[in-house]
């Protein structure tokens, strides 16, 4: 009975003012209960929520509010200072917190951490043309990598003003795009293997790679979401007079051009396998929805796209996430749902059978990022 009453009260609050406050509620839940900084460890999942706290800091003016986010990142990074490394892309991801703190505080200890992480990054296994391998044992390109290394490199640029970091990120995006892009949709398949095998590692299916092209077969939602978010952030970070800016803008437009028509109009979500909206076993996936909507909102803000279809798309996504993928915990907190768990590479059935969870750091973080971006457009 109590749960029923809470649900009714929640629905009433949605109808009255939830559209203005659900992002705040989720933000409080993330910081205060789900992952207070004392629980941070050096993992890519938790780095995705640190990324959100950095974004919050950068996008608000109130100094008291800024201090909340600064203290969050500082506590998380100080707790894991001795663990800091960049030996694989997923480890590099947490480095964005160290680079952010160096940018904001100018404390030399954070620069030392960044130097170590970057030195490790330069030693990561690469393909013949210099693309960073997602795995240490094999030369495989995964679309996830772009985000995992990208946020650290962008923060290093912001901290130092040295464009070599954003030029390196653009190079990695270009090299990954060359191997992973699907010519029909403009989106990317999940992975590519240099020896055309597809190794069993970190939970991937054995022999996932096409024997001729080396590509995996499927276009996975969140993998493409990582890429869209990173491209959008890089366009906002990179000076417009950088010789790579226009080409990068073209890359982002390639990725989002078909998203409005692939979106489920009933729920405002995109699907686990983005390019298969009519697949009977496919399901709506909320973290990729927040990521795609975030990227489209940034493209609109940058005037890269102006068509009404894109504006309608983010409206659908905002309302859809609010109405279908928010779960009320109690009178104060909400969280996310319809989230695919961590995912490696496989065939169609592999993705469709991935378990759906209620919350993950990347879903909570990306809901907040998109929600804030949407609100700033209003």
pLDDT over 60 (residue 19): no
Opening angle at CA 45, ends 215 and 326, nearest 5: 100
pLDDT for the residue numbered 200: 58
Between CA 299 and CA 91 the distance in angstroms is 29
Mean pLDDT, rounded, of the chain: 94
pLDDT in tens, 194-204: 987 766 566 78
Give me the mean pLDDT over the 38-48 stretch.
Answer: 97
Tokens of 311: 């504006």
> What's 2-196+209-377's CATH class?
mainly alpha
Helices (H) and strands (E) counted in the chain, each on its own, are 16, 8
82-125 confidence digits (pLDDT tens): 999 999 999 999 999 999 999 999 999 999 999 999 999 999 99
Question: In terms of DSSP H, where are the helices of 136-244?
Answer: 144-160, 164-180, 221-237
pLDDT band at 5 (very low <50, low <70, confident <90, very high): low
pLDDT for residue 201: 63
Which DSSP string do the residues of 36-73 spell out, in sequence order? -GGG--S-HHHHHHHHHHHHHHHH---HHHHHHHHHHH
Q: What angle do CA 259, 261, 267 make, to 5 degrees?
A: 90
List residues bridging with 273 in a β-sheet.
220
Token digits of residue 224: 């493409």
Provide the β-strand partners of residue 193.
140
Mean per-residue pLDDT for 59-71?
A: 96
pTM value > 0.75: yes
Residues 215-262: tens digit of each pLDDT? 999 999 999 999 999 999 999 999 999 999 999 999 999 999 999 999
CA distances from 10 to 185, 322, 324 (A): 39, 12, 13
Taking CA atoms, 117 is separated from 7, 40, 81, 236, in Å, by: 46, 18, 11, 24
Q: Following CA atoms 242, 246, 252, 256 in sequence, which dihedral angle do they give, to the nearest 10 degrees?
A: 150
pLDDT of residue 7 exceeding 60, the answer is: no
The DSSP output letter for 83 is G
Q: C-alpha distances in angstroms, 139 versus 123, 142, 214?
A: 13, 10, 11
Tokens in use for 47?
């780095």
Q: CB of 26 within 8 A of CB of 286?
A: no
C-alpha–C-alpha distance, residues 35 and 32, integer Å: 7
What is the C-alpha to C-alpha distance for residues 269 and 287, in angstroms, rounded to an integer? 9
* Angle, helices 144-160/221-237, rounded to nearest 10 degrees: 20
The predicted model gives 354-361 an average pLDDT of 96
User: Which of the four pLDDT bands, split at 50, 70 and 90, describes residue 58?
Assistant: very high
Contact 362, 21 (CB under 8 A): no
Nearest to 117 by CA among 71, 156, 173: 156
Query: Any residues with CB less than 8 A from the CB of 177 and at least 6 apart, and which?
Result: 188, 251
- In the three-class reduction of DSSP (H, G, I as helix; E, B as strand; rest coil), residue 277 is classed as coil
Query: In whole angstroms, what is the distance from residue 248 CA to residue 253 CA?
Result: 9
CA distances from 269 to 262, 285, 316, 335 (A): 9, 7, 8, 17
* HSE of 158, CA atoms in CB hemisphere, 13 A: 23
Residue 316 has a CB neighbour count (10 Å cut-off) of 20
What residue spans define the domains of the chain? 2-196+209-377
- The residues that bridge with 140 in the sheet, in sequence order, are 193
> Residue 186: pLDDT band by 50, 70, 90 thresholds?
very high
> Can you give the pLDDT at residue 113?
98
Position 14 pLDDT exceeds 50: no
| Mean pLDDT across 21-28 | 92
pLDDT of residue 203: 72
């Amino acid at each position: 009975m109590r749960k029923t009453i809470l649900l009714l009260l929640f629905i009433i609050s949605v109808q009255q003012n939830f559209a203005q406050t659900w992002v705040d509620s989720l933000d409080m839940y993330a910081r205060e209960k789900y992952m207070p900084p004392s629980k941070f460890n050096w993992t890519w999942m938790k780095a995705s929520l640190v990324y959100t706290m950095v974004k919050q800091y950068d996008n608000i003016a109130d100094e008291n509010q800024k201090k909340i986010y600064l203290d969050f990142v500082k506590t998380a990074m100080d707790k894991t200072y001795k663990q800091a490394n960049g030996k694989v892309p997923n480890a590099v991801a947490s480095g964005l917190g160290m680079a952010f703190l160096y940018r904001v505080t100018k404390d030399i200890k954070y620069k030392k951490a960044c130097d170590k992480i970057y030195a490790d990054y330069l030693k990561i296994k690469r393909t013949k043309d210099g693309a960073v391998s997602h795995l240490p044992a094999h030369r495989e390109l995964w679309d996830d990598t772009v985000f995992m290394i990208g946020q650290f490199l962008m923060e290093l640029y912001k901290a130092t003003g040295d464009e070599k970091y954003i030029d390196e990120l653009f190079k990695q995006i270009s090299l990954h795009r060359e191997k992973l892009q699907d010519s029909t949709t403009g989106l990317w398949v999940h992975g590519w293997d240099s020896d055309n095998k597809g190794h069993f590692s970190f939970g991937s299916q054995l022999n996932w790679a096409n024997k001729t092209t080396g590509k995996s077969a499927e276009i996975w939602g969140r993998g493409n979401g990582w890429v869209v978010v990173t491209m959008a952030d890089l366009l906002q970070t990179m000076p417009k007079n950088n010789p790579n800016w226009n080409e990068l803008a073209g890359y982002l437009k390639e990725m989002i051009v078909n998203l409005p028509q692939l979106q489920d109009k009933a729920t405002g979500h995109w699907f686990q396998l983005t390019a298969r909206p009519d697949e009977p076993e496919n399901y709506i996936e909320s973290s990729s929805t927040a990521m795609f909507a975030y990227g489209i909102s940034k493209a609109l803000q940058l005037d890269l796209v102006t068509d009404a279809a894109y504006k309608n798309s983010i409206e659908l996504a905002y309302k859809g996430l609010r109405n279908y993928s928010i779960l009320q915990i109690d009178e104060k907190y909400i969280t996310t749902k319809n989230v695919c768990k961590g995912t490696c590479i496989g065939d169609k059935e592999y993705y469709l059978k991935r378990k759906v969870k209620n919350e993950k750091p990347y879903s909570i973080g990306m809901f907040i990022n998109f929600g804030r971006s949407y609100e700033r457009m209003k």
